[in-house]
Every structure is written in structure tokens, then in C-alpha cells.
Amino acid sequence: MDFTDLFAGVRVRNIAEARAWDERLLGSEPAFYPSDVEAVWAVGEHRWFHLLENAPKAGSALVTIMVADLDATAKAMSGRGVYPTKLEDYGEVRKYVFHDPDSNEIGIGQVPQT
């Protein structure tokens, strides 16, 4: 298989509240809105982060977005009022774990450059 793109989705109770939180987390407004209950951010080339309002299924997502500089990214997020709930350190791989208002887990991680 030759995978070319990633479209990761998170279900939330209220799109307006979730969008505001994710704008602070990601540092930008969504790239586009497919409908009144959706918002999509481009988080890299051919990589998308998608919110969908679906209250009955909200709160169980597990997503990790990898970045080039984890500490600088976490500092920028904290400057926007979004703080990690924990740091997971696996030696060469680290990630900050964030929980949105619906308890979805959004990880921001870094794998060292080789």
C-alpha cells in the first residue's frame, strides 16, 4: 500500500466550543469548514485534523500530531492558554498529552531527527 494522505477526525459535543479550544491548541483557525458542524485544519502536507460535532460519540478520540520542536510547540500552546495534562517520555520519543473539553486525548509528540 502507498498511503498518501491522513485525515484524522475527532468527535465533539459542541463544534463552537471545540473549535475555539483547538484554535488555541493548533495556533490557527481552521483551513476550511465542510459544513456547519465540521472544521478542518491542515497540520502538514497531506495531513488534516478534523472536528465533527456528534455529541453521542464525543470524547473517546486518541490522536497524536508529530512536530519538529516539541518544547517550542508546547511553550507556544501554553502561551495561548492550552496546557498539557502530562508528559510521556519514552527515551527517544516524547509527547505532551492534552485533553479537550470533551476528554478527547490530543498528543503533540516529537521523534528525534536521525
Cα 102 from chain centroid (whole Å): 13
Among all chains, which residue has been given the C-alpha cell 456547519?
36
Tell me: the pLDDT tens digits for 61-95?
Answer: 999 999 999 999 999 999 999 999 999 999 889 99
> Helices (DSSP H) in the chain: which residue ranges?
15-26, 70-79
pLDDT at 107 over 70: yes
Q: Was domain 6-110 assigned CATH 3.40.309.10?
A: no
Task: Tell me the one-letter amino acid at 50.
Answer: H
Q: What is the mean pLDDT of residues 9-38?
A: 97
Give the integer Cα–Cα distance in Å for 43 and 65. Answer: 8
Among all chains, which residue has been given the C-alpha cell 500530531?
65
